[in-house]
Structure 1
Amino acid sequence: MNEFELIQSYFDWQLNDSTIATGIGDDAAIFNINKGFQLVTSTDILSEGVHFFKDTSASDIAYKSLAVNLSDIAAMGATAKYFTLALTLPKLDQVWLKDFSESLKLTSEMFKVSLIGGDTSRGPLNISITIMGVIENSKAILRSNAKVGDTIYVSGHIGDAAHCLKKIFGGLEPTKDELISLNRPFPRLNLGEALKEIANSCIDISDGLEQDLSHILKASNVGAEIDVRNLPLSKSLLNYVNNNNDWSVPLCGGDDYELCFTVPKTQEQLLKSISELCEVRITKIGVINNTKKLKIKGYDGPSNSYKHF
């Protein structure tokens, strides 16, 4: 099986999006954007041994590869539309490819995004996805617009994926829910789209709350104070933190893919309605101030959020 047969067999899916003029099969894809909208795009790479274990299932790898990219679109408040896939394989394993492509197709259908192109090559297992979305002109939620007095919120729970990794590296057996948190994060697309009307800034939590919130502060030239007692934790993680006094897991662990965002106090009631409409827990964790520093009340440990290098 050559490269073109591989693509045709596993990734040339029927497209149901009328905005796509040309998809897989030509030198490049062509799609149409409505007047008054901007294109939003992001790329993430997942590498074996760095972002997932060697024994991680092809199905979970496919799901997470797309989900983490969708999370970037959610953080911008955009609507996800298209993606490309660059897949590097150490060998041609048709069983693995079948599981990977079926999971990727199901995930793309779940979140209503279309695969419009990509590339394949031989080498260590790497998955690179470029995601594209659209948003009304000047409506994107940026990191750089947090205002003094904004309230800081986090969606869902944080720290479960990091707790799962800590267990695995410590020789302990993670729970099924913890493995799901690690391998199958849920991108908050509906929440992101709703937040574009009220949020001043937003970021998805991929490298740890402490580091990612700091990106907002730096880009916005502001400071913040948060309280560890307000962090939204699962029962299992809360028990671990209480027993070990280790707040670094939810603060610095990463791999959450929840949204951290800031909202003016005047929009708190509307935010409550958005939370109910999107069926997503939203937790107030702190406030933006003018100190240009991040103060974490209840934690004075090291800043050890994930760094790629």
Structure 2
Amino acid sequence: MNEFSLIEKYFTWKNSDLDGLGVGDDCALVSVSSQQQLAITVDTLIEGVHFPIDTTPQDIAYKALAVNLSDLAAMGATPWYFSLALTLPSIDEQWLKGFSQSLKALAQQHNIYLIGGDTTKGALSITINATGMLRKNQALLRSGAKVGDNVFVSNTLGDAALAWWQIQKQQIPSTSLLAQFNCPQPQVKLGQALLGIANSCIDISDGLEQDLSHILTHSKVGASIDINALPLSAEVTAHIANTQDWCVALAGGDDYELCFTAPKTQMDAIQLIAEKLHIVITKIGIITEERGLEIKGLEGGCQSYQHF
């Protein structure tokens, strides 16, 4: 049983009395008025699982909040507030100073406010519950992809996964790769800009292959993507040339970029968004009627990240 079948079997309950609440997207949506919805997400980071033991408190704090902001971005939500549950093995004031300063800086950057939480003693872990705001029925969902939509991703894929691969090989990643691994840039403005343009969206946390497949499952469609169309940095390109390991880009995870689908008629609008936000948006494939994900140019398969 993997993470998603566990959730489906034990925790996907029907909440017919609550308008808008549901399990299965990057955030749950809760209607709070006739015009507004809350987008709510939660993520936990565990030392030795989601970040190496020697990671700085600044990088831990940044990533803990960034991954939640990325979930809000995938729905097109405007960040509003968050709570923090922090489990510490001991009180280290120097560590706490670095952690809190980094957390505050990223929160201020995205105008999201810390409103409370909990602290306990134990193995180091950080849980953040973040909430954003949306106009009702405007959220980007995984279930909206349409046959004929183009499939897009933002920026580059595989940089964080390559950094982790090198760390496991006892190599020293470059500064740019480490930055992508420790301090991913949540695409909040992109998510907001895609409202009314994209038909579906998801953030890439567990790997493109797995996360795009969630869109296909929820939308009851298929997709065909071209492995050679994936946007890659020079370092990931060199790694693939040397090892033929496409899995860092296709299934490595920790990208925290957005994968979305949109009608062909929106190509010009998407190009304008990319120019305005100074980011790269790449078309990598198309949504098809036949179920499943076809990856043209890939020999063999890749295993995206699994918690269990």
Q: Which residue of 2 aligns with 1:15?
A: none
Amino acid aligned to 1:36: Q
3-state SS of 1:119 partner: strand
Could you tell me how far 1:34 is from its partner in structure 2?
A: 7.4
TM-score (norm 1): 0.88
- Who is 1:222 aligned against? 221
Aligned-partner residue type, residue 213 of structure 1? L
Q: In 1, are the aligned partners of 2:150 and 2:261 still within 8 Å (CA)?
A: yes
Partner of 1:109: 108
2:193 maps to 1:194? yes
Aligned partner of 2:21 in structure 1 is none
Task: Note if contact 1:217-1:292 (Cα within 8 Å) is conserved in structure 2.
Answer: yes
**Which segments of 5 or more consecutive residues in structure 2 lack a partner in the other structure?**
1-31
Letter in 2 for 1:78: A
Shift of 1:172: 1.3
Q: Which amino acid aligns with 2:226?
A: D
Number of the residue aligned with 1:91: 90
Asked whether the equivalents of residues 34 and 136 of structure 2 are also in contact (C-alpha less than 8 Å), the reply is no
Partner of 1:37: 36
Q: What residue in structure 2 maps to residue 264 of structure 1?
A: 263
Q: Does the Cα contact within 8 Å between 1:248 and 1:301 map onto a contact in 2?
A: no
Contact 1:202–1:260 (CA under 8 A) maintained in structure 2: yes
Q: Are residues 1:302 and 2:301 paired?
A: yes
2:128 matches 1:137: no
Alignment match, 1:242: 241
The whole-number CA distance in structure 2 between the counterparts of 1:251 and 1:275 is 22
User: Residue in 2 aligned with 1:56?
Assistant: 55
Find the counterpart in structure 1 of residue 180 from structure 2: 181
In structure 1, the partner of 2:254 is 255
Whole-Å separation in 2 of the counterparts to 1:300 and 1:231 = 15
Which stretch shifts more, 241-250 or 76-85?
Answer: 241-250
Instruction: Show the counterpart of 2:164.
Output: 165
Report deviation, 1:301.
Answer: 2.1
Cα distance, 1:278–1:35 mapped onto 2, change above 3 Å: farther
Q: Please, what is the CA RMSD of the aligned residues?
A: 1.0
TM-fit CA distance, 1:302: 2.4
Q: Which amino acid aligns with 2:66?
A: A
For residue 90 of structure 1, report the CA deviation from its aligned partner: 0.6
- Measure, in 2, the Cα distance between the counterparts of 1:35 and 1:64: 34
Q: What CA distance in whole angstroms lies between the structure 1 residues aligned with 2:291 and 2:33?
A: 39
How far is 1:75 from its partner? 0.2
Q: Could you say what secondary structure the match of 1:225 adopts?
A: strand
Per the alignment, residue 21 of structure 1 pairs with none
Counterpart in the other structure of 1:71: 70
Q: Following TM superposition, by how much is the alpha carbon of 1:303 offset from its aligned partner in structure 2, in angstroms?
A: 3.1
The one-character-per-residue Cα deviations of 1:232-257 (angstroms, maximum 9, x if unpaired) are 00011101112221111100100000
> Structure 1: where are the runs of 5+ without partners?
1-32
Asked if residue 155 in structure 1 is aligned to residue 130 in structure 2, the reply is no
Give the AA of the match of 2:276. L
Contact 1:155 1:258 in 2 (8 A): yes
Write out the 4+ residue segments of structure 1 that deviate beyond 3 Å after TM superposition: none
Q: Give the conservation status (yes or no) of the 8 Å contact 1:198–1:263.
A: yes
Instruction: Number of aligned residue pairs: give it.
Output: 277
Amino acid at match of 2:223: A
Worse-matched range after superposition: 253-262 or 272-281: 272-281
Give the TM-score, by structure 2 length.
0.89
| Structure 1: distance between partners of 2:232 and 2:111 | 30
